[in-house]
Amino acid sequence: MKAQLSMTACIPVIPSADIEKSLRFWVEGLGLTVDREMRHEGKLIGCMVHNEHLYFWLNQSDYSSNKPEDYEGIRLYWTPVDIHATQKHLKHLGYEVSDIEDRDYGQTEFFVTDDDGYKHCFGVASMV
């Protein structure tokens, strides 16, 4: 008989070279809350960032591993409540954000790269 498995959550682990710097994007940029801070010799080496719907673990990484030249790392697709306000807010914080574009596949999207070099896409269903 097969065991019945059920998952209650999946928390992506996001490597970061400088978590304190990364928090500007995750907290100020996306409005998430920080908790469960883990420190080693006073340095932040891990923490949870979340809201009532989303959870991510930021984890200290030294980026010393050899990566293939075409390595893209993680990519996250966000669904904001207000795409225009989100783009404006991230631009106000100094992030280089793309224009908001209606795609032929039915999504309205823009892109931003965070301080760790990860690409984030923000998208909503296009209004027809």
pLDDT tens-digit map of 21-59: 999 999 999 999 999 999 999 999 999 999 999 999 999
Q: H or E segment at 80?
A: none
Q: Are strands 43-50 and 101-102 parallel, antiparallel or unpaired?
A: unpaired
Six token digits for residue 20: 């304190």
Inter-residue contact 123 to 78 (CB < 8 Å): yes
Using an 8 Å Cβ cutoff, are 103 and 120 in contact? no
pTM (2 d.p.): 0.79
60: which strand partners? 16
d(CA 84, CA 124): 11
